[in-house]
Amino acid sequence: MLSTQAAVVANRLGSVIDGKLVRTKISTPLGSMIAVADDAALFLLEFENRVALTGELRRLERNFGLIGSGGNTVLEMLISQLDDYFAGESADFQIPTTQHGTVFEESVWRALRQIPLGQTRSYGDIAEVIGQPAKSREVGQANGANKISLVVPCHRVIGSDGSLVGYGGGIWRKKWLLDHERRYAWTSFEHS
């Protein structure tokens, strides 16, 4: 028998999909990314060499069936917005997303999307924002469980001492992304 929390997640997983999931590979200056979406929302955006990617794809297939290759409107929007992001033209990701986690994880992911471009927050800062000030460690775990890199900007979360820690795409990518965003935060992106 499923726990109450697992049953809630399973129910959400079973009722979300509008159409067939498709995946595509997207080239970026930081390496290839894999994106998975249906006709309504983005389910996953991860760097291709992330160790956890295979497991994430299996989980999606277990819950939604086989993932086809190809494209759809959501993926076309994503590619266009990623091109703008990496060109320094816009960081305004207006992609509908679907992530399935615990209530706590989902509150963390919502808070991540509120971190302003060119800025960072500590795990403790996010814990405060979501009203759970004693749960900075759990915020770190939820941050690591984010499956929609860049769009849900988990790379903007740093250690309490300002150090770059804990990014599934690699610390070198986290540094690159933060430098990129700081470079454009007060110029091109502010007009998005």
The encoded tokens of residue 142 equal 């939820």
Among 33, 34, 154, 177, the one annotated catalytic: 154
Query: Would residue 137 show up in a list of annotated catalytic residues for this protein?
Result: no
How far apart, in whole angstroms, are the C-alpha atoms of residue 110 and residue 77?
21
How far apart, in whole angstroms, are the C-alpha atoms of residue 15 and residue 141?
25
- The DSSP 8-state label assigned to residue 115 in this structure reads S
The owner of tokens 């994503």 is 78
Closest to 157 (Cα-Cα) out of 113, 97, 187, 101: 113
Q: Is 128 helix (H, G, I), strand (E, B) or coil?
A: helix
Closest to 100 (Cα-Cα) out of 38, 28, 11: 11
CA distances from 111 to 24, 104, 130, 158 (A): 27, 11, 7, 14
Q: Among all residues, which ones are annotated catalytic?
A: 154
